[in-house]
A and B are shown apart, each in its own frame.
Chain A
Amino acid sequence: MKVGIALREAHDAETELAAELLRVGERHKADHDVFHLTRTLSTWCDRHVKRLAEQAARYDVDLDADAVEEQESRGLLARLREKGSELAGRRPESGVLLLRDMRELHLAAARASLAWTALGQGAQAVSDTELLGVVSACHPETIRTMKWTVHKVKEASPQVLAS
């Protein structure tokens, strides 16, 4: 049984998604919508990672429940760069950068979403209702993050490209 592998993949993908969210937020501090929302969404990743870690023992894997929080504290250093990003954010090129960053964020969310899909299928195949409950609670939130990245590209690109 390789459900443990899927657990680890979901855990790692959510941790990476959180890192990407925080990184993008820091780079676009002058875009307040992006800055505040990426921080909120990273708390979802934190919750997901903790719930995955709770399941890990039953599958003999060891997952770090605090992986996202550690990302955040590492992010403190990066935050020192925020003032720089705020200034850079007052130029038109910041829009192009935003589109590029949203693409990366979308890919990270898609990776996490697929990891949840695989884990959910695995949970059903081994009849693990508890694990399936975790997937059902968390996966929709990752999908919401992914949809937001698409929306943000849709919303931002007309102005970025036409101006």
Chain B
Amino acid sequence: MPDRIADPWGPRTPFARGAEWPERVDGFLEEGVTEEDVEAWVPTASILHSNGDAMDIAVKDGRIVGVRGRAQSRVNHGRLGPKDLYGWQANNSPDRLTRPLIRRGGELVETDWDTAMEAMVARSRELLDEQGPSAFGIYTTGQLFLEEYYTLAVVGRAGLRTNHIDGNTRLCTATAAEALKETYACDGQPGSYSDVDHCDVLFLVGHNVAETQVVLWARMLDRLEGPDRPKLIVVDPRATEPAKRADVHLAVRNGTNLALLNAILHELIAAGHVDHAFVDAHTIGFDDLAEQVEPCTPEWAAEICGVEADDIRLAARILGTHDRILSTCLQGVYQSHQATAAAVQVNNVNLLRGALGRPGAGILQMNGQPTAQNTRECGANGDLPGFRNWQNDDHVTELAEVWNVEPSSIPHYGPPTHAMQIFRYAEEGSIRFLWISGTNPAVSLPELDRIRSILAREDLFVVVQDLFLTETAELADLVLPAATWGEKEGTFTNADRTVHHSDKAVDPPGEARPDLDIFLDYARRMDFRDKDGAPLVKWHDAASAYAAWQACSAGRPCDYTSFSYDALRAGDERQWGGERLYTDLKFWATPDECESYGKDMVTGTPVEPDEYRALNPEGKAMLKGAEYLPPAEPPDEAHPLRLNTGRTVYHFHTRTKTARAPQLQAAAPDVWVELSEADAAQLGIAEGDVVDVIAPRGRVRGPARITGAREGVVFVPFHYGYWDRDGGDHDRAANELTITQWDAASKQPIFKTAACRVEKVS
């Protein structure tokens, strides 16, 4: 096999527009093992990014010994990325948590499951008596399975009856969901990966797909190197792989996406490139949008964004003169200033062009994590299960019927509490029990000094459920060892709505248990009941949890009733909603059906039901404009540079798994700092010099890499924390520097817009 560290995307298999993407089966087996030695190939899909690449786990002597891509999968046609090829080795890591840990006399010490669960239940009962549901916060992830999220949502919303449940999907994909709700009044990915096969323009906005979804980029590369090459437009401050191949690279200053997109919309309208028949028939809001972007000329945006006005015109002309436009967004939009407003303008580009619901004409508002889609669907994030609308009493009543509880026992008097607000309540001391599963906020949330001080609060009981003793687990009162992918079974759904089953290949290490078992055990010990006195949680394993979810999803956009657990388990893969949503241009946007009435994208104020009913009675797509506002922390004399944080192809999240895969760890062992040539020259910094990046909240130290980034922008990867380093200051995690601020509508923290300075360490 070629060295997939040196070439993450593997060899090219070019294809023409509309042709079948050729198969290419990638695999990796540990040294000394051949395919003949493998005793079982167990079907699953990627767990280290959102692409959902189908694969089989190779098992020998009860151990995972490798992986192989599944040629027949519509998602990857056999391909795998480096994190899939090598990341599984973390399962076998000797430092896995194998027993529960409990804090005694200030130290975490080993204990048994019964003691651990009883401690958790005792504290829960105490707080329920003393304060009630408002004392409980649940913070989960985008890396568990559907059945686990759904169970957790029921336990939290109808068992504990707290409104404070969210996932770390808040950091990765909340804006994708919110942008879809603003435009289509409901979550649900409109497009499909197969749109890459048919498009004639790829419009990548803040989406470094080469590093975040390796196989999706391989598919794009195969189009870019084939006949009928699509045009490629890239918006990114960095000279990324996609940017290097772009017809137009708009290297905007980070924080200015909305200004750029408003100018592109301005140009589309001014040049007469609007599909008015489509707009009139299927959308509302055109006049207001046109008025909003009327003053946003390319010259105006060029000044703000630091790009050439002619490049903006060229991008608009390409978008305006092609029919099959596939637009995608990721963290460059979602984790930046005015996230939702910018993501919505990308939706607007496709709506103005009538590029929706047809092969090659669509939108991919991407996810960052493998199972983030399920966090969103199941209500383990800041939404109710099944894309139900918390402001719609009929939806809440329906949910109450599914759960056999009173509607009043499901909190819906306000928007479900988002992650940053959960931590804020803990900071104020009103949340006193925080249950964290499968995520590492002590490295991944902004302004880490603040997060550490919250997690360390005496009055906060912190439960952490994870595979390893993460930086967060070290601050916990109780640590529960969890089984992971390959050691448990369940289903999950990727960023283009493809559902896969992931089977159990091997036993978990020691006493580690599947997250589902932990949630079910807690529910049983807490003795949560429905309104007839029967157990609230009526299922006992993944298959029965899936059946319960099917019933909950029935009739909603993410309806799972037409494909059974057994069929998925047998290797079938399905996209809910079909290959593309909105092929008939009918949206889930009528006032009675919609998941959301929308929000004011500047203030975050939800639109009231009556207002929505008057605004959009027929349930059309909504063209919503927004005014560009300067970021909250612009560069100044003390901090003249713009901080941008992000990821590398070799790592996932806080490296909990990827740092334990030798090839991945060797490829990117430590933090670095990217500077533009001009900034480096001005500061007298050479490649490899150790530098400090200093923001008003903290400092990060690392070697300089001088790159083709735009002048004035500093990039630091966010993956690195402290668990694999002995002592020293908190100067390795990029989030020491980031600002505590979030998008008003999606509540996604802003990781890519802050001010900093760089100093050479002598």
Judge whether B603 and A163 touch: CB under 8 Å: no
- List which B400-446 residues lie within 8 A (CB) of chain A: 411, 413-415, 417, 420-421, 424-425, 427-430
Partner of B132, one of A30, A39, A162: A162
Does B606 belong to the interface (CB within 8 Å)?
yes
Does A89 belong to the interface (CB within 8 Å)?
yes
Judge whether A95 and B742 touch: CB under 8 Å: no
Chain B residues closer than 8 Å to A36, beta-carbon distance: 632, 741
Judge whether A91 and B602 touch: CB under 8 Å: no
Partner of A159, one of B420, B427, B430, B603: B430
Partner of A89, one of B420, B428, B744: B428
- List which A121-163 residues lie within 8 A (CB) of chain B: 144-145, 147-148, 150-151, 154-155, 158-160, 162-163
Write the B383-415 contact mask toward A (1 if CB under 8 angstroms, else 0): 000000000000000000000000000010111
Judge whether B132 and A32 touch: CB under 8 Å: no
Write the A54-90 contact mask toward B (1 if CB under 8 angstroms, else 0): 0000000000000000000000000000000000011
Does A31 belong to the interface (CB within 8 Å)?
yes
CA distance A31 to B423 in the complex (A): 11
- List which A32-54 residues lie within 8 A (CB) of chain B: 32-33, 36-37, 39-41, 43
Does A117 belong to the interface (CB within 8 Å)?
no
Chain B residues closer than 8 Å to A91, beta-carbon distance: 428-429
CA distance A159 to B602 in the complex (A): 24
Write the B294-330 contact mask toward A (1 if CB under 8 angstroms, else 0): 0000000000000000000000000000000000000
Judge whether A144 and B131 touch: CB under 8 Å: no
Chain B residues closer than 8 Å to A33, beta-carbon distance: 420-421, 604, 742, 744
Does B163 belong to the interface (CB within 8 Å)?
yes
Judge whether A162 and B134 touch: CB under 8 Å: yes
Minimum CB–CB distance from A159 to chain B (whole Å) comes to: 6
- A39-B632, A163-B430 known; A145-B132 Cβ under 8 A: no
Judge whether B429 and A158 touch: CB under 8 Å: no
Does B707 belong to the interface (CB within 8 Å)?
no
- A155-B414, A158-B163, A158-B413 known; A37-B603 Cβ under 8 A: yes
Judge whether B134 and A154 touch: CB under 8 Å: no
Q: Is the interface of B mostly helix, strand, loop or mixed?
A: loop
Q: How large is the interface on B (under 10, 10 to 19, 20 to 34, 35 or more residues)?
A: 20 to 34
Does B648 belong to the interface (CB within 8 Å)?
no
Chain A residues closer than 8 Å to B421, beta-carbon distance: 33
Does B629 belong to the interface (CB within 8 Å)?
yes
CA distance A83 to B629 in the complex (A): 26
CA distance A151 to B600 in the complex (A): 11
Chain B residues closer than 8 Å to A155, beta-carbon distance: 414-415
CA distance A116 to B39 in the complex (A): 77
Judge whether A163 and B134 touch: CB under 8 Å: yes
CA distance A33 to B427 in the complex (A): 14
Name the CB-closest residue of B to A94. Answer: B428
Does B605 belong to the interface (CB within 8 Å)?
yes
Does B516 belong to the interface (CB within 8 Å)?
no
Chain B residues closer than 8 Å to A150, beta-carbon distance: 605
Judge whether A144 and B134 touch: CB under 8 Å: no
Chain B residues closer than 8 Å to A163, beta-carbon distance: 131, 134-135, 425, 430
Using a CB–CB distance below 8 Å, which chain B residues touch chain A? 131-135, 163, 411, 413-415, 417, 420-421, 424-425, 427-430, 600, 602-606, 629, 632, 740-742, 744
Using a CB–CB distance below 8 Å, which chain A residues touch chain B? 30-33, 36-37, 39-41, 43, 89-92, 94-95, 144-145, 147-148, 150-151, 154-155, 158-160, 162-163
5 CB contacts below 8 A, A to B, read A37-B744, A92-B430, A144-B605, A150-B605, A160-B430
20 extra interface residue pairs, beta carbon distance < 8 Å, beyond A90-B429, A147-B603, A151-B605: A30-B424, A32-B741, A32-B742, A33-B420, A33-B604, A33-B742, A36-B632, A36-B741, A37-B744, A40-B602, A40-B632, A89-B428, A91-B428, A92-B428, A94-B428, A148-B605, A154-B413, A162-B132, A162-B133, A163-B134
